[in-house]
């Protein structure tokens, strides 16, 4: 039964961020398929109704419902089928390139029923709709080709991989439950015992917690996959660049005793405990003395706004100034921590910092290296929300979607079982869960189920 779900030409709606990852001037989330418009209008608050080939202003909201707040402004362009790039209903939402906003739009689109597009899928649809010519089609074929290779590699690594090892036994339990119920239906005339509701409930009950734990591992898993940006901010000459160099373990940023040395942002990719981290060293925040520094400070503020994590560097020998207080207030509620630097010198500001006790504070000395190990640990904790590293965690939105689908299907099956719904309908929910897990580890065919039945039960007369 699973092939239907896997079918690549099924008439579903696909969605993807169709601009390169990272910060750009404009980022676009694109939806294509029969429900593109229907989903699209729910992602934003439009100021005018959609009209073919017209750009419309809209607000991007931080949540559903009436008390949602506006977090960005976007242009929404709708193309009615067949007059679109893909020949299907097509909606493009152009927002201000912040990865956070784009990802929010995408995830809400997926929640509303769109499917994450495969690489090259928009182009493939365009080709199949006759919208692009043969030469372009060859390129599509290469894309699919590449996709095949990637998939093969991914499958190979997954085959012996930790994720399969984790999902495999759960799937096996699910297949066994399905086989039990199927045997009871197809071989009711044989000597097969009918599985009772208590047994079904027990088996579903055993499957759910491990799947929920797996879904929970996504918080860290996704970070491992995508990485995070950490902005190092603070007033001039508190030792941001020295800390940056300590963290990247080489002299990347220029360090002088002169305040305001760092004029532009400097960034470097490192891995902390397996998490890819983009460290951004920024110009010190103060009233700029000259134009170049002014531009540097503007970029610092931009980096601060975009980063998922913020490391505020304070000079522990000095009291907080107005700019620092302002900065600490600005990061309230965000993933941030404080490095109280220059701990090798006499501390003056320690008491004052407890005012911001909700932020973790690490005493560091960029000079001696003291506290750097602890700082690394604290950054990892901050990045993962405390989730520990575990084998076989979920790293992609697609995987996470599959596991949550399986959980919700099992919940439906459990409810159906409680209300005494016949087995062949409970099975619809169970198969939905199975197909979801299939998309992580490979397809289960009806023959696989029959094989299990024949090897488990003495069937036949």
Binding site for another protein (CB under 8 A): 1, 3-4, 6-12, 124, 127-128, 130, 134, 137-138, 140-141, 144-145, 147-148, 151, 182, 184-191, 194, 419-425, 428, 445-447, 449-450, 454, 458-461
The nearer residue to another protein, 179 or 277, going by C-beta atoms, is: 179
- Which CB, 404 or 417, lies closer to another protein? 417
Least distance from C-beta 420 to another protein, angstroms?
5
- Secondary structure element (H or E) that encloses residue 78, with its range: strand 70-79
Work out how close the CB of 394 gets to another protein at its nearest, in angstroms, rounded to a whole number.
21
Q: Of all helices (H) and strands (E), which one includes residue 73?
A: strand 70-79
Q: Which is nearer to another protein, 197 or 216 (CB)?
A: 197
Q: Where are the alpha helices (DSSP H) in 227-358?
A: 240-248, 291-306, 322-330, 350-353
Which of residues 12 and 173 has its CB atom nearest to another protein in the complex?
Answer: 12
Two structure tokens written together for 60 = 């991007």
DSSP string across 334-390:
SEEEEEEE-TTSPPSSHHHHGGGTTS-EEE--TTT-TTHHHHHHHHHHHHHTTPPP-
Q: Which helix (H) or strand (E) holds 89?
A: none
**Considering beta carbons, is residue 330 or 428 the nearer one to another protein?**
428
Considering the complex, what minimum distance in angstroms separates the CB of residue 190 from another protein? 7
Strand partners, 310: 231, 336
Question: Between residues 248 and 413, which has the closer beta carbon with respect to another protein?
Answer: 413
Residue 343 near residue 371 (C-beta atoms within 8 A)? yes
Question: Which residue has tokens 């509701």?
Answer: 197
In the complex with another protein, the residue whose CB is nearer, 148 or 368, is 148
Q: Could you tell me the smallest distance in angstroms from the CB atom of residue 421 to another protein? A: 7
Give least dist CB 461 to another protein, A.
Answer: 3
Strands 309-315 and 275-281, bridge-based pairing? unpaired
160 to each of 149, 154, 157, how far by Cα in Å?
17, 11, 6
Q: Tell the smallest beta-carbon distance from residue 403 to another protein (Å).
A: 20
Q: Tally Cβ neighbours within 10 Å of residue 306.
A: 16
Minimum gap (Å) between residue 44 Cβ and another protein = 27
């Amino acid at each position: 039964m699973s092939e239907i779900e896997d079918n690549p030409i099924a008439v579903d709606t696909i969605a993807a961020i169709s601009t390169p990852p990272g910060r750009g001037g404009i980022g676009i989330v694109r939806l294509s398929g029969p429900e593109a418009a229907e989903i699209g209008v729910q992602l934003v608050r439009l100021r005018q109704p959609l009209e073919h080939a017209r750009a419309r202003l809209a607000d991007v909201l931080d949540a559903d419902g009436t008390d949602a707040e506006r977090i960005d402004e976007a242009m929404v362009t709708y193309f009615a089928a067949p007059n679109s790039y893909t020949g299907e209903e097509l909606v493009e939402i152009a927002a201000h390139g912040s990865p956070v906003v784009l990802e929010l739009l995408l995830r809400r689109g997926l929640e509303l029923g769109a499917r994450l597009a495969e690489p090259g899928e928009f182009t493939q649809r365009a080709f199949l709709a006759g919208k692009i010519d043969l030469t372009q089609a060859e390129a599509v074929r290469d894309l699919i080709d590449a996709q095949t290779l990637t998939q093969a590699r991914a499958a190979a690594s997954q085959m012996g991989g930790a994720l399969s090892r984790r999902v495999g036994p759960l799937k096996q339990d699910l297949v066994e439950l399905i086989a039990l119920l199927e045997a009871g239906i197809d071989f009711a005339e044989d000597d097969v015992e009918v599985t009772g509701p208590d047994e079904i409930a027990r088996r579903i009950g055993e499957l759910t917690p491990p799947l929920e734990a797996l879904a929970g591992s996504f918080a860290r898993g996704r970070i491992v996959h995508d990485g995070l940006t950490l902005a190092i901010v603070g007033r001039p000459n508190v030792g941001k660049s020295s800390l940056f160099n300590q963290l990247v373990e080489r002299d990347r940023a220029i360090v002088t005793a002169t305040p305001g040395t760092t004029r532009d942002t400097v960034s470097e990719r490192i891995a902390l405990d397996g998490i890819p981290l983009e460290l951004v060293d920024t110009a010190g925040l103060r009233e700029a003395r000259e134009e170049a520094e002014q531009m540097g400070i503007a970029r610092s503020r931009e980096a601060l706004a975009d980063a998922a994590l913020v490391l505020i560097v304070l000079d522990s020998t000095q009291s907080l100034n107005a700019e620092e207080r302002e900065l600490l207030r600005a990061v309230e509620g965000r993933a941030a921590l404080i490095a109280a630097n220059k701990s090798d010198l006499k501390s003056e500001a320690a008491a004052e910092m407890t005012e911001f006790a909700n932020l973790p504070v690490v005493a560091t000395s960029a000079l001696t290296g003291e506290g750097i190990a602890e700082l690394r640990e604290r950054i990892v904790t901050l990045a993962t929300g405390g989730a520990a590293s575990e084998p076989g965690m979920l790293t992609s939105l697609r995987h996470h979607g599959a596991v949550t689908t399986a959980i919700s299907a099992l919940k439906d099956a459990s409810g159906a079982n409680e209300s005494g719904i016949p087995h062949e309908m409970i099975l619809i929910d169970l198969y939905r869960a199975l197909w979801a897990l299939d998309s992580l580890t490979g397809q289960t065919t009806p023959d696989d189920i029959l094989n299990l039945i024949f090897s488990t039960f003495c069937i036949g007369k």
